[in-house]
Structure 1
Amino acid sequence: MGRVSGRSCIVTGSARGIGRAIGEALLDEGADVCFADIDSASAELAARENEDRAQRNGGKVAWAGVDVTKREEVRDMIAAAVSAFGKIDVKFNNAGINKPMNLLDVTEENWNAIMTVNGLGVLIGMQEAAKQMIAQGNGGKIINTASIASRQGFDNVAPYCASKWAVVSLTQSGARDLAKHGITVTGFAPGVVATEMWSQLDRDLMEIGASEKEGQAMAEFSADILRGRVATPQDITGTTTFLASKESDYMTGQVVMIDGGMVLV
């Protein structure tokens, strides 16, 4: 039996990158997984490409298109997962965005876009998942994606840092409020991970003059990683599967750093 066999999970932002790796690792350990993303076509593709993986390990797979800032769409996503699996045990609030700007150039539009997805999107995801879990009456797990930027402010990405500090606060507040329902709320904080999001970040930093050539910003930013390299998505999934499993049942309100020793807290 896998570590999460019989558990039904939703992972937002899972069409690619860390989110997809989280979903695939859960499938490897026997879970049912709903791949959810604002890019509905890619979410469907992720699910279809993982059908064999699910069957091999005794789980099921589903998909949903969702804008995590729209409550009705989040409700529809949860309803679709419940229809496919019969219940929801674990909800990963993983969807997030970033758009670097120099601090003095940050606009209200930039601030609001990042805070709405990364902050409000997590709040709505927590609320709607918790309502379903409470109705089911068997508790559950909510797991939020934070960042090294939730523990230390970095230049060029102030709104993103603020949004990820918000994720930590929401995780702690949710843990306190939902404990009486048997729902735990935890989080994890990746560092530099070799995904398309980080590649785009590298290009964006070039555009605002923070670096001169492709790859420079990522190389400089990751130079202090104690493990000596950037992460792969698979470096993250051992922890995320643990957080979704029974092994973490006595853990709540905590955010686990998975950054190779870049930020020590």
Structure 2
Amino acid sequence: MSFCTRFAPSPTGPLHLGHAYSALVAHDMARAQGGSFLLRFEDTDLERSKPEYVRQALDDLAWLGITWDAPPLMQSAHLGIYNQSVEGLTSRGLTYPCRCSRKDIAAALAAPQEGAPHAVYPQTCKTRSMVERGAGDAVRLHMDRALNQASAGLGFIEDGPLHCGVHPIDPAALLDEIGDIVIGRKDIQTAAYFLASAIDDMRQNITHVVRGVDLFEFTQVQILLLDLLGHTPPRYHHHDLIRDDDGKRLAKRDDARAISVYRKDGASPDDIRLMIGL
């Protein structure tokens, strides 16, 4: 199977130096392997995703010298496919509706009986049935049941420099450190990141997922989802992150480091490569 990778930003703000690094690393790898580089816009957050950010991203990537081998895939045009996957997992008893707001979750995690606050969902709605789902409910994966239905020996291959090797999924970590993730947003017509991204890697025949190391720990969630949906996972390459002077990961709110800003200031694509260590 020939090498195929992708760059998959969310069009909720301008691309910054971190995006440039990830896109260029993936693009350089694809071209070095004589393979394919694809582009995908993960725009299932219909409220925050904007067409102007898509246009700006396409312009910035072309300016960097990046080319893609097929028309960009827009997730918002394929919501039905993701929803079918949610329905498939639901038919196996692997989901439940969740009405909790972020405020509700924060309050539950801070309660004395919950111990120290952490990011894992406190399972407030876990006893609810999907027949109770309302328009304002998200859909969560019932992690216990999902692990019980998963294939034996499940794991993934990492080719990146930071965690190279074979990584079996860790059921204890999935239960205690990641928990019952959201796979369907509160808007019934939109899917959540973990599920939609994993499905599209299969739909685009991605052989190598190239992305930041901040997503490494969550890879096993997508491996689990792909297994439950009957797919063989791709290989992964998690690279280091571009950080600001304080060591923080760049975010879209860092407009001062947006590629478009550097372009306006007269930087060249080679200048950008030098800035990010390429």
User: TM-score interval w.r.t. the shorter chain?
Assistant: 0.3 to 0.5
TM-score (norm 1): 0.36
